[in-house]
Amino acid sequence: AQDVFEYIYQNSRIPRSQFAFATTCQIMSQMIGNKLILDDIAANLYFYISAPSSDGKDGPIKRMFKVLHEIDPKINDQKTITSDSTV
């Protein structure tokens, strides 16, 4: 996870540690997927990055999808997981 965090942080146009952390957690959550199920109920984990316009949200989100696509090429667009406006 540390390598993913550093990749996202260092490759963001405006490095924000909070955004890199949130997107790293989202990647870890996506990798775990529905493998944690209790009584036929899988957990849903939502992340919300809130910041003013042009404050660096887009970079970490794009890097997140790039990392996920490298892990699984079927994850080829943002709609596969969620809208980037709600990540």
Q: pLDDT of 3-47, one tens digit each?
A: 999 999 999 888 999 999 988 988 888 777 767 777 877 766 777
Rounded-to-5 percentages of helix, strand, coil across the chain: 50, 5, 45
Is the per-residue pLDDT at 80 higher than 60? no
What H or E segment, with its residue span, contains residue 6?
A: helix 2-10
Q: What is the largest CA-CA distance in the chain?
A: 43
pLDDT of residue 21: 93
Tokens, residue 31: 């990798």
**87 or 6: which carries more pLDDT confidence?**
6
Return the closest-CA partner of residue 62 out of 17, 15, 28, 12. Answer: 12
* pTM of model > 0.85: no
Residue 35 is classified by DSSP as G
pLDDT of residue 3: 93
